[in-house]
Structure 1
Amino acid sequence: MIRFGVIGTNWITDSFIEAALKTGKYQLVAVYSRQIEKAEEFASKYGICLCFDNLEEMAASDELDAVYIASPNSLHGPQAKLFIEEGKHVIGEKPLASNIAEVDALIAMAQEKGVVLFEAMKTTYTPNFVQIRQALPKLGKLRKVYFSYCQLSSRYAKYLNGENPNTFNPAFSNGSLMDIGIYPLSAAIGLFGEPNSFTAQGVLLDSGVDAHGTLVLHYSQFDVVISHSKVSDGLIPSELQGELGTMLVDFISECKSVTLHRSGEPALELTCPQEDNAMYYEAAEFARLVETNQIVHSGLARTQIVSSIITQAREVVGVRFPADEEMRV
């Protein structure tokens, strides 16, 4: 049983706790919040009493084996570093850190300390993502891939009203590519590996983060076009086009359904049953890695490629974070 604590008391933390407990591999033992009252209120829902408003004390506690980090993006890297230094396993919400320099440093430290470091990228662990990978040969020679994830942020109205919500504030390492585009990009890297090259485009808000944009990953025989947005809603499915047919994927971040359309054949439904809470699968995989002591795993390579592409793409688009400057010092 993995004794774990959580950093963050928002809805995504609740979702992960629900998923983790359902695997039967976890015991929730601790909650952190900057305000101890908030930590205690959150913890009361789960009947636990170990609450912290000091991260150093939490990281040093002998009562937990691992931590789930769901704080603002800019804090993921520094907080992961703190817990790794204390010999704790870390599952960090995507993105794992603000840039590739932070990611590389965390991976090196985790391997030195002998702990599991894992990015909570639910997409690539879902059963239907496995279906996509297994069905790729049925498409014949792959020619075009279009992945779309566009979701109007619930905080955009606040931004337009002159407020400065975290989700559109570069101080918190946010923006469309970091928050939204990372899902289809991770899916593409999970399926096809590192591209030969890529191009990037984005539209900036006055705050300095990208509102929406496009990535094109260039492979030897095909391209992957990735559309992402935090200022508009997208309703179209993603698709993979081959010489023998096309595969449609609904909601690429969770791969809710997968359908194969081959020339001259009836449509073939490839969708398999999935948990409603797709975080179940990332929680199960993290537990497996911890139980088998797999410090080096395939998820780390994917995270490094994705982080490297996003870091370079932000340079092209013009998105700069304070965390980037801190790593150059």
Structure 2
Amino acid sequence: MIRFAVIGTNTITEKWIEAARQHKEVELTAVYSRTESRAKAFAENYGVFQTYTNIHALAESDKVDAVYIASPNAFHARQAVELMKAGKHVLCEKPMASNQQEIASMIQVAKENGVVLMEAVKSTMMPGFLAVQENLHKIGKVRRYVGVFCKYSSRYDAYREGEVLNAFQPSLSNGSLMDLGIYGIYPMVTLFGAPEEVKANGVMLESGVDGEGTVLARYKDMEGVVMHSKIINAYAPSEIQGEEGTIVISNISEPKDIQIRYRDGSVEELEVEEKEFLPMYYETEAFVSLLKGEKNHAGNNSLTHTLIAAKVMEEARRQIGLTYPADRSF
């Protein structure tokens, strides 16, 4: 069994735990939180009795092999580095860090200490996305990728009433691009690599983060369009548009219900093997395979893809004037 600790006592952590418990080789043994009462309350919900409020103590624990990090974005790099220096493997929630510099440092530490580091992007490891990859050739020359993920944040109501919660705090490296835009950017760079040029627009909020925006990516013979928002909902699907047809993806963050609409009017429903696994199971499965030495790279969730996506987001941030304290402090 691989003994996991979690950092973060939030909804995303709860979803990961439920998915990870579907894996027969994963065991949750510890919970970290900055607040002892919160750590203990969260741990008790899952029958876990080992809790930490000190990251150094967690790093030195002999009861933990790997750590799933789902703290605010600004904390990812520092926490991961300390854990990896102590020999812990790290599965880090997306975005892996605030900027390229932090990610490069994390990768270097992982190499120096012989541990596994992987970004937890659920979408690109799911069977639906794999089906897109396997069938991409059917639509001929790809000319445009469109990734849409716009979801009105449950915390935006509080923001509109004058309360700025974590989701809209620049000190935590948050905002629409980092939290939701990555869902459109990461599949794009996984399928098509690094763009030659990036153009970006965004709507900045008074708190100092972006509420929504658009990223245009220029490739040699195609373009990518990524639309993201935390202040509106969108109901349009994502698409990969080719000369012979278009792949239509209903939800880019959890790809399923995928069609190919051919130029002649015919429609093919892509068959996706249905398993009784939760969306975040697949990233966990890939991480465990890496840790056990069954694979020598993370495939779709490789560190190369992580760096490319970070570069795209950092350039987009530069153009819309979005900076974080982490950009100057790491």
Report how many aligned residue pairs link the two structures: 327
Match of 1:309 in 2: 312
Task: Give the whole-Å Cα distance in 2 for the aligned partners of 1:122 and 1:308.
Answer: 20
Letter in 1 for 2:132: I
Match of 1:50 in 2: 50
SS at match of 1:190: helix
Task: Give the whole-Å Cα distance in 1 for the aligned partners of 2:223 and 2:94.
Answer: 24
CA spacing shift, 1:176–1:274, aligned 2, 3 Å: farther
Match of 2:281 in 1: 280
Note if contact 1:256-1:271 (Cα within 8 Å) is conserved in structure 2.
no
- For structure 1, which segment, 258-267 or 221-230, has the greater mean C-alpha deviation from structure 2 after superposition? 258-267
Note if contact 1:31-1:50 (Cα within 8 Å) is conserved in structure 2.
yes
TM-superposed CA distance for 1:255, in Å, is: 0.5
Note if contact 2:238-2:252 (Cα within 8 Å) is conserved in structure 1.
yes
Note if contact 2:22-2:277 (Cα within 8 Å) is conserved in structure 1.
no
TM-superposed CA distance for 1:106, in Å, is: 0.3
CA RMSD of aligned residues (A): 1.3
SS at match of 1:22: coil
Note if contact 1:111-1:296 (Cα within 8 Å) is conserved in structure 2.
no
- For structure 1, which segment, 63-72 or 284-293, has the greater mean C-alpha deviation from structure 2 after superposition? 284-293
Normalised to the residue count of structure 2, the TM-score between the two structures is 0.96
- For structure 1, which segment, 217-226 or 287-296, has the greater mean C-alpha deviation from structure 2 after superposition? 287-296
TM-superposed CA distance for 1:39, in Å, is: 1.3
Note if contact 1:8-1:70 (Cα within 8 Å) is conserved in structure 2.
yes
Letter in 1 for 2:204: L
SS at match of 1:23: coil
Mapping of 1:239-318 within 5 angstroms? Answer: 239-264=239-264, 266-272=266-272, 273-275=274-276, 277-292=278-293, 297-298=298-299, 299-318=302-321
Match of 1:14 in 2: 14
TM-superposed CA distance for 1:275, in Å, is: 4.6
Match of 1:65 in 2: 65
Normalised to the residue count of structure 1, the TM-score between the two structures is 0.96
Percentage of pairs with the same residue: 43
Match of 2:28 in 1: 28
Mapping of 1:46-195 within 5 angstroms? Answer: 46-195=46-195
Task: Give the whole-Å Cα distance in 2 for the aligned partners of 1:7 and 1:287.
Answer: 18
TM-superposed CA distance for 1:308, in Å, is: 1.2
TM-superposed CA distance for 1:263, in Å, is: 2.4
TM-superposed CA distance for 1:277, in Å, is: 2.1
Letter in 2 for 1:285: A
TM-superposed CA distance for 1:271, in Å, is: 4.0
SS at match of 2:225: strand
CA spacing shift, 1:323–1:27, aligned 2, 3 Å: same
SS at match of 1:29: strand
1:26-47 CA-partner distances (Å, limit 9, x unpaired): 1111011122222111111222
Structure 1: 5+ residue stretches without partners? none
SS at match of 1:30: strand
Note if contact 1:126-1:274 (Cα within 8 Å) is conserved in structure 2.
no
Note if contact 1:259-1:271 (Cα within 8 Å) is conserved in structure 2.
no
SS at match of 1:256: coil
Task: Give the whole-Å Cα distance in 1 for the aligned partners of 2:326 and 2:271.
Answer: 40
Task: Give the whole-Å Cα distance in 2 for the aligned partners of 1:226 and 1:311.
Answer: 14
CA spacing shift, 1:204–1:271, aligned 2, 3 Å: farther
SS at match of 1:112: helix
TM-superposed CA distance for 1:256, in Å, is: 2.2
CA spacing shift, 1:86–1:293, aligned 2, 3 Å: farther
Structure 2: 5+ residue stretches without partners? none
Task: Give the whole-Å Cα distance in 2 for the aligned partners of 1:186 and 1:143.
Answer: 18
1:300-324 CA-partner distances (Å, limit 9, x unpaired): 0000001111112111110110000
SS at match of 1:313: helix
Note if contact 1:116-1:293 (Cα within 8 Å) is conserved in structure 2.
no
Note if contact 1:153-1:231 (Cα within 8 Å) is conserved in structure 2.
yes
Letter in 1 for 2:323: R
Task: Give the whole-Å Cα distance in 2 for the aligned partners of 1:143 and 1:313.
Answer: 22
TM-superposed CA distance for 1:296, in Å, is: 5.2
SS at match of 2:185: helix
